Amino acid sequence: MDLLIFARGPGMYWAVTIFVIGVLWKLAGVILLRAKRDLSEARKPSAWTGLRAILTRSWPRRAFVHGTAFSEVLGYAFHVGFLFTLVFYLPHVLFFEDMFKGLLGVNFQRLFGVSWPYFSGGMVSFFGAVAVAALIALLVHRIVNPVKRLISNFDDYFSWLVTIAPLVTGMLAYGHVGAPYQTLIAVHLLSVELLLVWFPFGKLMHTFTVFMSRGTQGMQFERKGATL
């Protein structure tokens, strides 16, 4: 099974390497830019409280709920579904525990006193299905909504593709559907690797920059006493 050997070995190695270096490169390229100190007299004694925007911007204000609720709900459905599938599926848990031990040299359970929790396969399938359904609905919305259609570009569609691919291939592998199991696993791993390789170059980077962006606006606005 050459494909599986590649996907598990050099494929994963290079994908993770590109992911890590790419993410660090992009973050450094932004963070290392100059940041001028604001010399104006602050209205508030400390701007740090503005960091609350990292949390508060997770849901629109009442005045903005109308018109954004659809995207917000679907966005949450996708993110929660994706995260749960990624983090709480037993084979993934075993993979992460192995990685944890490999990186830190200590067992996760020994260090924290608890084992990594996981859901049943059925539960994970449910969350995976929610994530896939939300992604499909978001794609349809991107195509039919005039605003979204206008502002969308290659990054939006390609990032969508590399995000839904591991979910779909993973569910096919779980259900042993369409091909021999080893082939399905190989395809699943390759789709994950595609996601990792594309990650630093496109909008998926918002996984990290969302906190920086909200925090930046939060602190800038807070020192002025501006509405946040």
Residues contributing to the site for other proteins (CB under 8 A): 22, 25-26, 28-31, 33-36, 38-41, 43, 53-54, 57-58, 60-61, 63-64, 66-68, 71-72, 75, 142, 145-156, 200-201, 203, 205-206, 209-210, 212-218, 220-221, 224-228
Buried b or exposed e, range 186-202, using 16+ CB within 10 angstroms: bbbbbbbbbbbbbbbee
Taking the complex as a whole, how short is the minimal distance between the CB of residue 165 and other proteins, in angstroms? 18
Q: How far apart are CA 159 and CA 150, in angstroms?
A: 17
Q: Which is nearer to other proteins, 40 or 110 (CB)?
A: 40
Taking the complex as a whole, how short is the minimal distance between the CB of residue 204 and other proteins, in angstroms? 9
Taking the complex as a whole, how short is the minimal distance between the CB of residue 167 and other proteins, in angstroms? 18
Q: Which is nearer to other proteins, 14 or 64 (CB)?
A: 64
- Give every CB contact of residue 28 below 8 A, 6+ residues apart in sequence: none
Taking the complex as a whole, how short is the minimal distance between the CB of residue 199 and other proteins, in angstroms? 12
Q: How far apart are CA 220 and CA 58, in angstroms?
A: 18
In 3D space, the residue among 120, 134, 99 whose CA is nearest the CA of residue 174 turns out to be: 120
